[in-house]
Amino acid sequence: MPEGGTLKDWIAETLAAELAPTHLDVIDESHLHAGHAGWRESGETHFRLDVVSAAFEGKSRVERHRLVNGLLDGAFKRGLHALAVRARTPGEAA
């Protein structure tokens, strides 16, 4: 994981490189969880993803989430506490 960059940027770059998404939103929702478990004042603890990729074709919802979580293992090690994932195929997003 690059030093000095934001976790949000690293998440976006990692998913772009690994999934070649046709759509990707990485939203930092940490401010919505102030005072809750895992929250830090510095932020970047809670993210919401909306990703559309052909890599999800033929995969169940659980398999899609496992794929994304596996790709972002480094983010969890860096302090990511919670991740909400919406993972769709291009056909599902149309």
Residues 6 or more apart whose CB falls under 8 angstroms from that of 37 comprise: 81
* Whole-number pLDDT of residue 12: 95
Mean pLDDT of 80-86: 91
Cα Rg, the chain, nearest whole Å: 13
* Whole-number pLDDT of residue 36: 63
Between CA 39 and CA 41 the distance in angstroms is 7
More confident residue, 44 or 68: 68
Between CA 56 and CA 42 the distance in angstroms is 33
Give me the half-sphere count of Cα atoms (radius 13 Å) on the Cβ side of residue 53.
Answer: 22
* Whole-number pLDDT of residue 94: 82
